[in-house]
Amino acid sequence: MSFEAAAGPVPIRPEIAALAAYRPGGAAPGPDAVKLSSNENPFPPLPSVAEAIAESAAHLPLYPDNAAAQLTTEVANWLDVSAEHLSFGAGSVSVLMHLLNAISGPGDEIVFPWRSFEAYPLAVNVPGATPVQIPLLTDGRHDLEAMCAAVTERTRAVLVCTPNNPTGPCVTHEELTDLLAQLPERTMLVVDEAYIEFATDPEAARPLELLDDPRIAVLRTFSKAWGLAGFRIGYGITHPTLAAAIRTVTPPFSVSVPAQAAALATLAAREKLLAQVEKTIAERDRMVGRMRGLGFDVPDSQGNFVWLPAADQTDRWAAHFADHGLIVRAYAPDGIRITVSTPEINDRVLDAAAGLR
């Protein structure tokens, strides 16, 4: 590789030097302001989870179990997959980056929808692969026909985000199976299910049912529905050969002792957790209904967020919400994503939204 193009005192790879770092959601500027810009869980940690984390402090001088053996067993049992399909990382965004590192490099192409998760361009560029971004349809859904048409012999993977962050709709199971059937033999279909616990659409894709096909890779996280964003833990469910490659690429001991303890305790408390998720789903549906009633063209949301297609008004509307102490995520020139929170905060969002009409 040539470093001639890299200006400056350090020979940074040109494709990295050209990249913007990941931009996290804006923080709340004051005590009355609320951060609704990162799709975080609004509920405090469950006492049993907080206890497990506190107890794990006794093990802090020791490295974590690199294989996350107990967690692997629990997740495998819960999902009814064999342990060799699983790989864990510091958030599913890490697993995605390790996966793409394992399968792609310069000259390879990765096809993904846009607008979608902000980390995708980064995850594709880091191994030196070429991003091929396919615009969403106007209703916020993936344009699967165009994504399929963009596949070439250089395409190593097609990424699908379902429910899609930031617009909300799911890819249907039929769409996913059709897509898989059309992909070449050596092109992976990576399905990002970061928000799957919030999906209620009966047609929603069920990629785990397609796991017999070695091209299917599913990414999930404990960050959103499970409320562990602060710990950084997510996982991949893939063909065992890919899972092994992801483990090879993952820096040793990426999933910390307290993160493993927290994930185990969270899984053990999943009934309580899923009851919280039900509340968020009910609030999401209420917000979508009210927003539509106000005349906003809100797409179907299957995640814990709602999308306002604000177009050229994006920055102005985001500033309006900020004036009301609500920090939303602005993606100019497309729209605004607002995380569903508690009923009180959601009412504040709806009041502020009404002020835009």
Stretch that binds ligand PLP, among 29-37, 86-94, 169-177, 202-210 (CB under 6 A): 86-94
Cite the DSSP H helix spans in the chain: 14-17, 47-56, 69-79, 92-103, 119-125, 144-149, 173-182, 240-249, 257-268, 270-293, 314-323, 343-354
The distance of Cα 290 from the centroid of its chain, to the nearest Å, equals 26
Q: Using an 8 Å Cβ cutoff, are 74 and 267 in contact? A: yes
- In the bound state with ligand PLP, the residue whose beta carbon lies nearer, of 90 and 326, is 90
Name the minimum Å distance from CB 255 to ligand PLP: 11
Of 41, 72, 165, 301, the one binding ligand PLP (CB under 6 A) is 165
- In the bound state with ligand PLP, the residue whose beta carbon lies nearer, of 35 and 154, is 35
**CA 218 – CA 87 distance, rounded (Å):** 11
- In the bound state with ligand PLP, the residue whose beta carbon lies nearer, of 41 and 346, is 41
Name the minimum Å distance from CB 6 to ligand PLP: 29
Q: Using an 8 Å Cβ cutoff, are 189 and 160 in contact? A: yes
Residue 120: CB partners within 8 Å, gap ≥ 6?
A: 96, 112, 114, 131, 159, 161
Residues 187-226 that bind ligand PLP (CB under 6 A): 192, 194, 221, 223-224
Name the minimum Å distance from CB 356 to ligand PLP: 25
Q: Using an 8 Å Cβ cutoff, are 131 and 112 in contact? A: yes
Going by C-alpha positions, the residue among 172, 151, 148 that lies closest to residue 162 is: 172
Name the minimum Å distance from CB 8 to ligand PLP: 30
**CA 191 – CA 162 distance, rounded (Å):** 7
- In the bound state with ligand PLP, the residue whose beta carbon lies nearer, of 141 and 290, is 141
The distance of Cα 239 from the centroid of its chain, to the nearest Å, equals 20
Name the minimum Å distance from CB 134 to ligand PLP: 16
Q: Which residue is nearest to ligand PLP (CB)?
A: 91
- CA 312 to each of CA 165, 187, 271, 300, 318: distance values in angstroms, whole numbers, following the listed order: 20, 36, 42, 21, 11
- CA 23 to each of CA 73, 155, 354: distance values in angstroms, whole numbers, following the listed order: 34, 27, 29
Residues 24-43 that bind ligand PLP (CB under 6 A): 39
- In the bound state with ligand PLP, the residue whose beta carbon lies nearer, of 127 and 166, is 166
Name the minimum Å distance from CB 146 to ligand PLP: 20
- In the bound state with ligand PLP, the residue whose beta carbon lies nearer, of 308 and 352, is 308
User: How many residues lie near ligand PLP (CB under 6 A)?
Assistant: 14
Q: Which two tokens stand for residue 32?
A: 């009355």
- In the bound state with ligand PLP, the residue whose beta carbon lies nearer, of 117 and 321, is 117
Residues 87-146 that bind ligand PLP (CB under 6 A): 91-93, 117
Residue 147 burial (CB count, 10 A): 22
Q: Which two tokens stand for residue 175?
A: 């769409």
Residues 262-291 that bind ligand PLP (CB under 6 A): none
Identify the DSSP state of 316.
H
- In the bound state with ligand PLP, the residue whose beta carbon lies nearer, of 199 and 352, is 199
Q: Which two tokens stand for residue 204?
A: 């929603």
Name the minimum Å distance from CB 117 to ligand PLP: 4
- In the bound state with ligand PLP, the residue whose beta carbon lies nearer, of 104 and 223, is 223
Of 124, 134, 144, 161, the one binding ligand PLP (CB under 6 A) is 161
Of 234, 258, 299, 335, the one binding ligand PLP (CB under 6 A) is 234
Q: Where on the chain is the footprint of ligand PLP (CB under 6 A)?
A: 39, 91-93, 117, 161, 165, 192, 194, 221, 223-224, 229, 234
